Amino acid sequence: MAPRFKTLALGATPLLLAGCSGELSTLDPAGPRAANLAVLWWVMLAGSVLLFAIVMVLFALAYLRTAWVTRITPAQWIIGGGLVLPIPVLVLLTGTALVLGEQLLPRGNAPIRIEAHAERWLWTFTYPDGHAVPDQTLHMPAGQPVDIVVTAEDVIHAFWVPRLGGKIDAIPGHTNVVRLEADKPGVYWGQCAEYCGEGHDGMQFRVEAHTTEEFAALMQGASH
């Protein structure tokens, strides 16, 4: 399933306006999970443009008093426009989104679990076996799914690396998990998405995806 979405995403790439790329852009995905979400967006956008056009054209035709529009009966307006048009679209879309949502759940155990702990206004990352890397950067291996275990110290924050996947809230008293994956090694950016007070603006963090070997080496060298 995932590779097919990826080809779709690649196919959609030429559509991207130059302005859509960016270090925090959801439209510039850098991993299969974010790519799925971007495809969902482009599909919904196309459908929406079509539906919007239909409504606007009908509204215009009502005023132009085109003959066939004036002949549409009340029942046809209500049943055609109100039921036949939206119901299949909505059922199909919601069904697809739910299936996709199931696939994106962090099910089973990903090989690597990294803890992200939010407090006003910084993130602390802890690696398997209690390793810590003291540079305010989330290190992760590229090319494989990674589970991020998100918790909060004080108020609600949200963990969001737009190019690698969706966001999840960091809520005091709760533990949430989000699964991310980067296609290639590189530097990505993340930020706090839930308003958390005066320092909310500055709560961004660096994400560095490494090759598997580099990541293993980094963990070796990390302090306990």
Interacting residues with another protein between 28 and 47 (CB under 8 A): 34, 36-37, 40-41, 44
Picking from 224, 219, 35, the residue whose alpha carbon sits closest to that of residue 113 is 219
Distance CA 78, CA 93 (A): 22
Measured CA to CA in angstroms, residue 221 lies from 45, 147, 217 at distances of: 46, 21, 6
**Interface with another protein, residue 61, by CB under 8 A:** yes
By CB under 8 A, what part of segment 188-217 binds another protein?
191-201
**Interface with another protein, residue 55, by CB under 8 A:** yes
- Residue from 13, 137, 176, 212 binding another protein (CB under 8 A): 176
Are 114 and 125 in contact by the 8 Å Cβ rule? The answer is yes
By CB under 8 A, what part of segment 121-150 binds another protein?
none
**Interface with another protein, residue 158, by CB under 8 A:** yes
Distance CA 189, CA 161 (A): 6
**Interface with another protein, residue 165, by CB under 8 A:** yes
**Interface with another protein, residue 102, by CB under 8 A:** yes
Distance CA 40, CA 176 (A): 24
**Interface with another protein, residue 7, by CB under 8 A:** no
**Interface with another protein, residue 59, by CB under 8 A:** yes
The minimum distance between CB 211 and another protein, in angstroms, equals: 26
Picking from 3, 75, 8, 79, the residue whose alpha carbon sits closest to that of residue 41 is 8
CB atoms within 10 A of CB 206: 14
The minimum distance between CB 209 and another protein, in angstroms, equals: 18
Draw the binding track, 72-91, toward another protein (x: CB under 8 A; -: no contact).
x-x--xx-xxxx-xxx--xx
**Interface with another protein, residue 69, by CB under 8 A:** yes
- Residue from 112, 133, 156, 222 binding another protein (CB under 8 A): 156
**Phi/psi at 208 (nearest 5 deg)?**
-120, 120
Distance CA 171, CA 179 (A): 17
84 vs 216 by CB, closer to another protein: 84
Give the chain's radius of gyration (CA, Å).
Answer: 22
The minimum distance between CB 110 and another protein, in angstroms, equals: 13
